[in-house]
Amino acid sequence: MTSVFITCAVTGSGDTVGKSDKVPFTPEQIAADCLDAARAGAAIVHIHVRDPITGAPAREPDLYAEVVERVRASDVDVVINLTAGMGGDLTFGSAERPLPVDEAGTDLAGATERLEHVRRLEPEICTLDCGTMNFGEGDYIMTNSTATLHEMARQIQGLGVRPEIEAFDTGHLWQAKSLAAQGLIDEPAMVQLCMGVPWGAPPDLNTFMAMVNNVPDSWTWSAFSLGRRQMEYVALAAIAGGNVRVGLEDNLYLGRGTLASNADLVGRAVEVLTGIGVGVKGPAEVRDELQLTRRG
């Protein structure tokens, strides 16, 4: 039987806290959702943190530390994947006057600062967003320059952490393969195909297969799409030979009008996979596949 692993992206940094009371935002809530997702069948939990009072996106190492320590102190086994995407946010002033930038929407940090929590907590996996792109509406741009990516990849490699390449479009895969060719990403490489994020790769089948067909044969890959297409992509990714991601970072609903928890979404993904004859891998199998070292 073919088997895949499930990643649960538990909270993300989007403006979702006000849209669903099931989105966790305190360290205690985020850790609890990680554990519930793992019990439901997720082998990996992908972790962002938020301001515990306002729910706004945050990147303070102490917040990551509280989440990770709570997960590691539990009796639930799960692979920890910390985002390193925060610190690349650029929001221009306006279409007519881009400078000065909008300080409220801009958070630009150097490679070393963006990886401070990874250095401190040594997760098994952290993300590496391999591209710059218009992200949603307005004047916001997700920025990851070539020089920054080289330095972040070098530091992640030095820490012995497995990077999960985040590819939002075909050019991001091209850049990731360049980093690997330069010896900055070690085998077995891991990539997440991020579909349906405006304005990256649209979630149509032709674009998806173009992404899949450009992943090197030796790499491990996973995929997701936003919103109502989340479960569709659970099946698509598994059938195309990849792994899957679900979670409240990407989708708030279990069905029309029914808000989901992270455990609900993982449970539904398990149902979809078993329904098409695909097994679900546990964290120990993922560690073997990706040559991860369990820490903490």
CATH number, domain of 199, equals 3.20.20.70
The pTM of the full predicted model, rounded to 2 decimals, is: 0.97
Domain assignment of residue 204, yes or no: yes
Question: Could you tell me the CA-to-CA distances from 156 to 31, 43, 49, 185, 244 in Å, in that order?
Answer: 24, 21, 20, 9, 23
Task: Give me the percent of the chain exceeding a pLDDT of 70.
Answer: 100
Domain assignment of residue 296, yes or no: no
Domain assignment of residue 113, yes or no: yes
Residues of the chain with pLDDT under 70: 296
Domain assignment of residue 180, yes or no: yes
Count of the separate structural domains present in the chain: 1
pLDDT the model gives residue 294: 80
pLDDT the model gives residue 63: 98
pLDDT the model gives residue 295: 75
pLDDT the model gives residue 288: 97
Domain assignment of residue 83, yes or no: yes
Domain assignment of residue 295, yes or no: no
Range of the domain at 181: 3-290
Domain assignment of residue 236, yes or no: yes
pLDDT the model gives residue 1: 75
